[in-house]
Each structure stands twice: as C-alpha cells, then as structure tokens.
Chains A and B, each alone.
Chain A
Amino acid sequence: MYEIVEKNKLAPEIFHFEVKAPEIAAKAQAGHFLILRAVEKAERIPLTIADYDREQGTIDIVVQEVGYSSQQICDFEEGEAFLDVVAPLGNPIETEDYDRVICVAGGLGAAPLYPKVKSLVDHGAEVTTILGAQRAEKLIWEDRFADLSEDLYIATDDGSRGTEGFVTNVLEELLSEDNDYDAVIAIGPMIMMQAVSDLTAEYDLKTIVSLNTLMVDGTGMCGGCRVTVGEETKFACVDGPAFDGHEVDFEEQRRRKKFYEEHEEEIEEHHVGGEGCRVQAK
C-alpha cells in the first residue's frame, strides 16, 4: 500500500498528492511515470512522477479529474493509501546538453513539465517557461516555475491572467524575436503539443513532447500505447513517453484517445448518483 502523506488542491479539479514510496523515490528521474491502481476494481492509470524527495522517501503526483478513474484517485485523502503503484516507468529525459530551452505547458501539463525544468536548471540550462491555462484559477505551480525560470510567461484563453490567447501566441512572439534556443519542450493536451510542434517546425527548432497515450501495463507488453513516430510504430511506455514532436502522428493519437468514449459514458451511467458507489469502491 502507498500511503498519502499530503494532499493539496491546486486548482479546480486538480489535486497534488505526496505519496510514501521510498524505493521509487530513490530511483525516480525527470521523465519517469508510474502506473497507479487505486483500489481492487480500478483501472491502471499512468501518471507522471511530478517530483520526488529521496530523503523523505516520497513521490509527488498531480492528478486532474477527467473521467471516472482520475476522480476516484482525487477522492483519496491524507492518511489513506493507494493499492498499487509501479514505477519508475518510461525513459528519463535527457537534460544535460542544453544551454537555452523554452518549456511550454498547457493546463495540467505544468505538473509533468516541472521535473524536466528542474533537471534542466540543475544541469545549468537557462529556461524560459510559458504556462497556459483556460483561466487564471486553473494555473498550477506558477510559483515553482517563477523560481526556476529565467523568464516566465503566462497565457490564458480568457485573458484572466497574462496574455489572452494560446501559449503558441507567446511562443511565436518569442521565436520571431530570437530563435537562438536549443530546444522546446512542450507538454499538455495533444492539440496544444501539435500546435507547438507545427510552429517550431517553421523555425527548425528541436521539439520534445511527452505523450499521454492509453496504457495498460507500461512495460511494453500490450502495445496499447502504440504511436506512429516518423513512419515507425513505437510503444510510448518503453520507447517514450517523450518523442520528437516533429515526427509524431498527432492525428492518429487524437483518434486513438477516443477509443473508449462510449465506455466512459457507460461508467458514468453506472455511477449515476455516483458518490455512494465511489466510496464503496474504496
């Protein structure tokens, strides 16, 4: 069992958990993810290791409620424990060879982006960060990024904070002034990563995206996380989850993520007046 030592609400529908897992904390690196099964009947849900503390033996996850399973995770409280956590999975991201990098996050993407920025800065890179969200209250960890970044830009869809509009607007402005960067790292909704990659392709600027495909095992065993990267089929769990954004077939990924839409509706129906059920499920 993996005990929750701290829980915070970061934004509407977004929660941060610090979880006791000393063995995982000892091995975690920026770019790794975990798979969590909250209770016996739950799905195996992939989540990025957003931070870790080797001394305390804890790992951090940030979870956004998007469907039944992520809500079920977010219903857990301090002192309770998740049934299964397997990690570290995936490949750590290379952060050693960069001097200047732009890091872009959309919404919840800020959480998985954070360990990468931290690692880049640890290795001496100068990081410019662009955080985007629908509206001001949905921004997460702005303070953490402010501490680490050379420059921090904010964009919200409704203009309630920072520039009004998308992160790509800010990025375009930055690049048109100065494109002397080694790379862009973009994490967020598929559509946002695609837009960033399309933009940076014009500048011939290396772009790394982190894919949140559907997954089951996370160890290369099922192929459910298939993604076409530069004409080749890759498994996001063992070959990624980070890939060259200019090579990823985003259209295919967007279609694949709709695979279980009808099932999601069925779960919601099954749990109408669902609170009771959810508590029972624990």
Chain B
Amino acid sequence: MSKQSRTEMEELDPRVRVNNFAEVAQGYTPEQAVKEAKRCLQCADPKCMEGCPVQIDIPDFIELIAEEKFDAAAEKIKEKNNLPAICGRVCPQEDQCELKCVLESTGEPIAIGRLERFAANYGEDEVTKPVQDKGKVAVVGAGPAGLTAAADLAKMGYKVTVFESFHEAGGVLKYGIPEFRLPKEVVQEEIDQIKKLGVEIQLNKVVGKIKSVDELMEQEGYQAVFVGTGAGLPKFLGLEGENLNGVYSANEFLTRVNLMKAYKFPEYKTPVYVGNKVAVIGGGNVAMDAARTALRLGAEESMIVYRRSREQMPAREEEIEHAEEEGIQFQLLRNPTKILGNEDGFVTGLECIKMELGEPDDSGRRRPIAIEGSEFEMDADMVIMAIGQNPNPILLDDSPEIETTDWGTIKTDEVGQTTKEGVFAGGDIVTGAATVIEAMGAGKDAAEAIDEYIQSKDDN
C-alpha cells in the first residue's frame, strides 16, 4: 500500500500574488501528475466515484495519467464532464470525490481535482459535431447547469440553443469567481468546446423579457426547455446606511471586476470603487473572493466580518487558508448593525455587535446570539455584502405555471421536471446557491430526463 503523501502543487508567493490577478494555484507538472496518479490504489469498488455528481470514471482516468497517456485520460474525463479544467479548479473536492477516497482516512486522499485539472490540458481539440436530428431544445442560462445540459443534449443528437442574458456565457464562472482562482480564458476555452458540439449560444437574451418560455415552446418549436438561471439576486441586510456610496453587493463588486474587467481600468471603462479599509460581510466562498479581490485592487486592509466562528465558515478550507496567507483579517463573532457615512454619502465605518455561540440550530451549527449592549464601531470606507443570493425571478415572473417554493427556488422532481410540462430546471435556481459540480450534475440528470420525455412523446 502506498505510504507516500499527496504531491504538493506550486502556488504563487502570497506577497507577490496580492499585487496581481494571476492564478494562485499553478497546477501539476507532468512529473508531479504521474507521481500523484501512481499513488491511486485502483480500488475494485472505487468509493471516490460516489462523491462525484457527474460520475467521472476516476480510477480509469488516473491510471491513464500514471501510464502517461494524457490525451486518453482527458478523453476519459470528457465522457462525463464537459468542463474538466473548471471542476479541477473549483470543485470542493474535499467534500466530494476526495472525501470518499479510501485514503481519506489517512489524511492523504488522492488529489483527484488536481489530476483532473492537469488532464484537462490534453486531449483532442477538434470535436466532431454529432448528427442532430432528434429535435430542438432550449436552455435558459449559460452557467454550469445550462452548459452541461446543452452539451449532453447535443451529444445525444438534439439541436440546442442556449439563451443567456449577459454578453458572455459562463454564469458565475465568468462574473463571480475571480481570475486568480479561475482564469476566464480557461472558462472560455471550455465553452468554445461546447459550441463545437453544435450548441448555439445566443447572448444578450433575457428570457422572460425578449421571449417567454411559452413562446419558445409554442412559437419557436422547442420541444423542451431547461431552466438554469442560477441564484443571481443579491441579499442585503436592510441596515441603516446600506445605500451609502461604497456599499456593494458581492455580485456587483465581482461583476465589475471579473466580467467587466474593472481591474484593468481605465483600459476597460467600467469603474470600481476600492476603499483603503474594506469590510466584507459573510463567511462563504463569495466573501473570501470579494476580500481577496479588494486586496488585489489596492486596499490597505481587507477583512472578513462573520457572525459565527472560523470552524463554521462555509467557505472551502483552502480558500480560507489562501485568504489568511494573503493577510485578510478575520473579525469573527461580529455582526454589523449599522453602516456609518459622511455628508457626501460615502461609507466611513461599521457598527457591529459581538456574538456568542448558543445551541445548535437546524443546520447543526451552533447558533450565533448577539451579546446585548456590546455594540462597537470600526473604521471602514468600503463594505461588501456577501451574505448570499436568492434565485433570479425574472423568467418566472413571466411563467406563472412554473411553481416555486417559499424560498423562490423552482419546484422539481428528482430528475428536474418542473410543474410545467416540457420544462425542466436545475442548478442554483432549484437548490439555492450551491456548487458548480452540483449544478452540472443537475444539468446532466435533466438532459437525460429531457431525452426520455421527448422520446416518449415521439412514440405516441
């Protein structure tokens, strides 16, 4: 049995990287990849696969890397996953495939994500477009859920059109996750591969505005529609001072920087405001991304203000560590109560209350309770709200037959069928803000269900 420890991956020096948007994690060299791949036990009953929502044949692709058949390894992954370079980077592997790896108990599971990212650099660039004569399907939203559903349906032989409201495809991969974690070029390359499968992507099309789901089905002849519109609606706390200049939703801040490339202002014309002392409210991946982005844009201090303790932060451990290395400060067990401003309407500070942990709540985490009378003020000239997103209702306002839950998410069965015949949904619009790979898994399941649905209708 292999006693070797996980092969390390190079990372940019924190002191260097806080000054640029270059990718932090450098990826494996071929030698490192082969070394790591050889640690895999090639289990007869590979538990790792149970942890992968898109069911990648993990031992097989790892074996191919060990044999230095990198192109074949890439092809093996792409049988199941159309976005390997993305997943290899941003999947929370420690909670998914790597959590289930038999070596996990040793503390040294196989670095499946890093190997997947490595293999994604290889493989055939030329994809042959499948014959597409099985019918027409519309996909709404070009995030990971929609793109996965589209690619799978195209491979099955459907003519697929994706409608996307932004001027670029990718969803959160383009506008949310920063360049230093997921280079936009990598995202675009994988999208271009999907286009080569014959998937048409129509940009600047807000479904619910330019056309309704009914119009797509009744007038434009789409036999089924997949809705993957994500959880794009920013939450605010409703605090006094929340509309001051210098208060952003994480969505706005990150969209300006990532999609509109404000980090290259004034070459790119979209401005972004950056304070000297930035307070990011929240403890998830989005908060880490916002805090690290602010630092790279020149903030002197960037801090996370979170109402629970470090152990309960929902962000990936790796991201919290990266943030710490870069000098992000953590104000834990603090909850903002008011945002302070000056006469010109700009932020000058934050009033917070101290918190303590009480009994566990429904989520199993200990509930944060405000300590009465413990309010205090701190300086800040920029505040970013990263406290979660709600589902985007713009399409739903126009399609009342698609029922939603009390949280505004779309109601579906296990395979993604909504309450409206022929309409399927998946990703964040169904689960609420979750992960890339879960959104992709949902897109995959829905593609199969859509195929079944259309075939059963054709049989009648």
A180 smallest CB distance to B (angstroms):
36
Out of A43, A223, A264, name the residue touching B260 (CB < 8 Å).
A43
Write out the residue numbers on chain A whose beta carbons fall within 8 Å of the beta carbon of B243.
Answer: 226-228, 233, 252, 256
Q: Is B221 an interface residue (CB 8 A)?
A: no
* Mask of A111-145 contacts with B, CB within 8 angstroms, 1/0: 00000000000000000000000000000000000
Report Cα–Cα, A118/B269, bound state, in Å.
Answer: 35
Q: Enumerate B230-272 residues with CB–CB distance to A below 8 Å.
A: 232-234, 236, 238, 242-243, 245-246, 248-249, 251-252, 255-256, 260-261, 265-271
Given the known inter-chain contacts A43-B260, A216-B256, A252-B243, please indicate yes or no for A85 contacting B232, CB distance below 8 A. Answer: no
Q: Is B392 an interface residue (CB 8 A)?
A: yes
Out of B206, B242, B256, B267, name the residue touching A219 (CB < 8 Å).
B206
Q: Is A84 an interface residue (CB 8 A)?
A: yes
Q: Is the CB of B209 within 8 A of A258?
A: no
Q: Is the CB of B394 within 8 A of A263?
A: no
Of the four ranges (under 10, 10 to 19, 20 to 34, 35 or more), the interface on chain A belongs to 35 or more
With CB as the reference atom, state the residue of chain A lying closest to B245.
A259
A259 smallest CB distance to B (angstroms):
4
Interface residues of B: mostly helix, strand, loop or mixed? loop
Q: Is the CB of B251 within 8 A of A221?
A: yes
Q: Is A174 an interface residue (CB 8 A)?
A: no
Number of interface residues of B (CB under 8 A): 40
Q: Is B299 an interface residue (CB 8 A)?
A: no
Report Cα–Cα, A37/B268, bound state, in Å.
Answer: 12
With CB as the reference atom, state the residue of chain B lying closest to A251.
B345
Report Cα–Cα, A37/B261, bound state, in Å.
Answer: 13
Q: Is the CB of B251 within 8 A of A223?
A: yes
Report Cα–Cα, A37/B165, bound state, in Å.
Answer: 13
Q: Is the CB of B252 within 8 A of A224?
A: yes
Given the known inter-chain contacts A43-B269, A89-B206, A259-B245, please indicate yes or no for A222 contacting B394, CB distance below 8 A. Answer: no
Q: Is the CB of A221 within 8 A of B206?
A: no
Q: Is B121 an interface residue (CB 8 A)?
A: no
Q: Is the CB of A41 within 8 A of B345?
A: no
B160 smallest CB distance to A (angstroms):
19
Q: Is the CB of A220 within 8 A of B232?
A: yes
Q: Enumerate A1-41 residues with CB–CB distance to B below 8 Å.
A: 23-24, 27, 37, 41
Q: Is B210 an interface residue (CB 8 A)?
A: yes
With CB as the reference atom, state the residue of chain A lying closest to B164.
A86
A-B contact count (CB 8 A): 114
Q: Is B376 an interface residue (CB 8 A)?
A: no
Q: Is the CB of A223 within 8 A of B267?
A: no
Q: Is B203 an interface residue (CB 8 A)?
A: yes
Report Cα–Cα, A64/B166, bound state, in Å.
Answer: 25
Out of A86, A221, A267, name the residue touching B234 (CB < 8 Å).
A221
With CB as the reference atom, state the residue of chain B lying closest to A85.
B204
* Mask of B257-295 contacts with A, CB within 8 angstroms, 1/0: 000110001111111010000000000000000000000
Write out the residue numbers on chain A whose beta carbons fall within 8 Å of the beta carbon of B249.
Answer: 222-224
Write out the residue numbers on chain B whose beta carbons fall within 8 Å of the beta carbon of A41.
Answer: 261, 267-269
With CB as the reference atom, state the residue of chain A lying closest to B242.
A233
Given the known inter-chain contacts A219-B394, A220-B392, please indicate yes or no for A252 contacting B270, CB distance below 8 A. Answer: no
Write out the residue numbers on chain A whose beta carbons fall within 8 Å of the beta carbon of B233.
Answer: 220-221
Q: Is the CB of A68 within 8 A of B394?
A: no
Q: List chain B positions with a Cβ less than 8 A from chain A.
A: 165-167, 203-206, 209-211, 232-234, 236, 238, 242-243, 245-246, 248-249, 251-252, 255-256, 260-261, 265-271, 273, 344-345, 392-394
Q: Can you list 15 contacts pairing A with B, beta carbon distance less than 8 Å?
A: A23-B210, A41-B267, A43-B260, A88-B209, A217-B166, A220-B233, A220-B393, A221-B255, A222-B251, A223-B249, A226-B243, A233-B242, A258-B344, A259-B273, A263-B265
Q: List chain A positions with a Cβ less than 8 A from chain B.
A: 23-24, 27, 37, 41-44, 68-69, 72, 83-89, 216-217, 219-224, 226-228, 233, 238, 252, 255-256, 258-260, 263-264, 266-267, 270-271
Given A216-B270, A252-B243, 16 new contacts (CB under 8 A):
A43-B269, A84-B203, A216-B252, A216-B256, A221-B255, A227-B243, A228-B243, A233-B236, A233-B243, A255-B344, A256-B345, A258-B245, A259-B245, A259-B246, A263-B266, A264-B271
